[in-house]
Structure 1
Amino acid sequence: MFVADGLLYHWDSIAGVKVRQLVLPRERREEVLQLAHESLWGGHMGPKKTKTRIKYSFFWPGMEKEVSEYCQSCHNCQIRSDRRRSDKVPITPLTRPEHPFQVVNVDIIGPIETPSARGHKYALCLVDLCTRWPEVVCLHSLAAKATCDALLEIFSRTGVPEMICSDQGTNFKSQLTQLMLE
């Protein structure tokens, strides 16, 4: 620590760079914590980023603990935070099919706000789960016949998949579509 211009400073190294930090008196810490965490520039970042932000300019004994406690007690952060880590389901890898176009995901997007020059308002989107290869066919309507024609167009190039996963939309559950897929 050293004194310059009547102020007490502390030297620290952040990411290999030597930084001069103003030693902050107790009565000013709350203001700095609020600015570094809650202000427009603070953005309610977590304890680690808030500590780093403060450390570039300020120092006080026990700062890291105080910053952690401040961030963890922030009302807005508690409201917006994710559920506790123990509540989360562990991520497990999905097994991909062994062969291309064995299993596909299919969905229809639309209506598209500005139809194409040919009047297409919808698009049938199909993605192969093995290769992630996308196929898109433009549609004029959501009718089951249009859906079946689009699927036949794709299957004529790729072959018929063993399994088709969809969102169970009415165009995929219609009798015509069910008959075609049998």
Structure 2
Amino acid sequence: MVHDYVAALTLVETDFFGRVQEVAEQDITYLKLLDQVKAGEIRKYWIEDGILYAKGGRSFIPSGALRNDLLKDTHDSQWAGHTVVNRMMDLLSRKFYWPNMDQDVEKYVKTCLVCHLDKSELTKEAGLLQPLSIPERPWKSISMDFILGFPNVGGMASILIVVDMFSKYADLIVAPKVFTAEHVAELFLKDVIKYLGYSVHWTIVDSVFQPDGVQTEVFHGQSSSN
């Protein structure tokens, strides 16, 4: 059964329409549209409870934080599984509308770090390494990557990314500017194992990326079983 995820987003928000009205106060274009619809100058939108609606009964989302939250929830959530552009657009456009939504969706997917990491694994040249089997359940197989080059804040200047290869769910962990294998093991135990327990099979893939997403070094470790 395919879950209607976007329809459920309004249930997750304790006051979704309140958020729409709050964000709308900062969107001059949205406020102008409200006035034009009230005056009968524009007929392709209508107003219910102070909120604009577009064709199909879709909520017109003002520019700002709420659009970003919807993009993030529709793409990054644990069960959404980092949807591709067409699927993400289909999900969002069922319940929501805003101008140039397709461009925003495409840009969001293109700049998604997890998707870039996953794509790099699929497109790298074949070697002598053993192929990784497709995991049959969440958190049986993971990848670990680092983003380097952030400003040093309290000794922290990098991010350890742990991705579940089944669901594509990512856990981002703040890490020191300089770290050793022992540091990585400590972070992994503290932020992943502590909550998930030990898995039967862990697959480690170590890649180093700059903040702009350019891959600078890749090391692919052979899988092992406990």
> What TM-score do you get using the length of structure 2 for normalisation?
0.33
Pair member with larger Rg: 1
